[in-house]
């Protein structure tokens, strides 16, 4: 693939991915404001953007074997924990952006858990086995992730147990 086309596909993948998530959040807001049809429209458009992003990723040969995908996910999580969020936190702290500091901190804490889970999964997949995984709980307020039972309160943001979503 020629470099310019590859760069354009990467940019399109990033844009479509962002639109997908942005529209899901817009749908939640519309639903909360009692506009169910607008919420449904945003969800439909979000799904369309997800399809576009997936098509771009496949064209880029960005989906490998499960082991390769886990290796890529693990590398991404480790980068976020060891470099990206540390740098973002430092800037936000220097600039006195308290909410950004909090958002970067909680995201980094969740990424640490993701890294550990991906590492375990890769180890078992590389042996030809599936991971033995308890329910994974995610705090819907801050994104903190934990395997097993949800705690009574999120250890990061203090949200109550009923704010956790099980996977």
What ranges do the domains of the chain cover?
3-59, 65-130, 134-167
Please give the helix or strand (H or E) that residue 139 lies within, else none: strand 136-139
Give residues with Cβ within 8 angstroms of 143, minimum separation 6: 106, 107, 110
Question: What pLDDT score was predicted for residue 131?
Answer: 98
Q: In this predicted model, what pLDDT tens digit does every residue of 139-160 receive, in sequence order?
A: 999 999 999 999 999 999 999 9
Question: What pLDDT score was predicted for residue 152?
Answer: 98
For the chain, the distance separating the N- and C-terminal CA atoms, rounded to the nearest angstrom, is 38
> Domain 65-130 falls in which CATH fold?
Ferritin (1.20.1260)
Task: Write out residues in the chain with pLDDT < 70, as ranges.
Answer: none
Question: What pLDDT score was predicted for residue 49?
Answer: 98
- Name beta bridge partners: 164: 139
Q: Phi first, then psi: what are they for 151, rounded to 5°? A: -70, 165
* Superfamily for domain range 3-59: Ferritin, core subunit, four-helix bundle (1.20.1260.10)
Q: Phi first, then psi: what are they for 155, rounded to 5°? A: -70, -15
Question: What pLDDT score was predicted for residue 150?
Answer: 98
Question: What pLDDT score was predicted for residue 31?
Answer: 98
Q: In this predicted model, what pLDDT tens digit does every residue of 80-98 receive, in sequence order?
A: 999 999 999 999 999 999 9
Q: Where are the alpha helices (DSSP H) in the chain?
A: 3-32, 36-59, 66-79, 85-94, 98-125
Question: What pLDDT score was predicted for residue 155?
Answer: 95
Question: What pLDDT score was predicted for residue 2?
Answer: 97
Domains 65-130 and 134-167 share a fold: no
Give residues with Cβ within 8 angstroms of 151, minimum separation 6: 161
Question: What pLDDT score was predicted for residue 133?
Answer: 98
> Domain 134-167 falls in which CATH fold?
Rubrerythrin, domain 2 (2.20.28)
Give Dmax over CA atoms of the chain in angstroms: 53
Closest by CA to 54, choosing from 8, 4, 13, is: 13
Question: What pLDDT score was predicted for residue 119?
Answer: 98
Question: What pLDDT score was predicted for residue 46?
Answer: 98
């Amino acid at each position: 693939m020629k470099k310019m086309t590859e760069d354009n596909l990467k940019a399109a993948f990033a844009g479509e991915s962002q639109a997908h998530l942005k529209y899901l959040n817009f749908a939640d807001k519309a639903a909360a404001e009692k506009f169910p049809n607008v919420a449904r429209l945003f969800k439909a458009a979000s799904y369309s953007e997800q399809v576009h992003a997936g098509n771009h990723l496949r064209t880029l040969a960005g989906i490998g074997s499960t082991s390769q995908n886990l290796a890529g996910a693990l590398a991404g999580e480790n980068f976020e924990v060891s470099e990206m969020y540390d740098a973002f936190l430092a800037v936000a702290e220097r600039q006195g952006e308290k909410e950004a500091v909090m958002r970067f901190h909680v995201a980094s804490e969740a990424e640490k858990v993701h890294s550990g889970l991906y590492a375990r999964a890769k180890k078992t997949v590389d042996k030809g086995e599936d991971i033995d995984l308890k329910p994974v709980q995610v705090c819907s307020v801050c994104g903190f992730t934990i395997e097993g039972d949800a705690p009574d309160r999120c250890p990061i943001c203090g949200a109550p147990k009923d704010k956790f979503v099980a996977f």
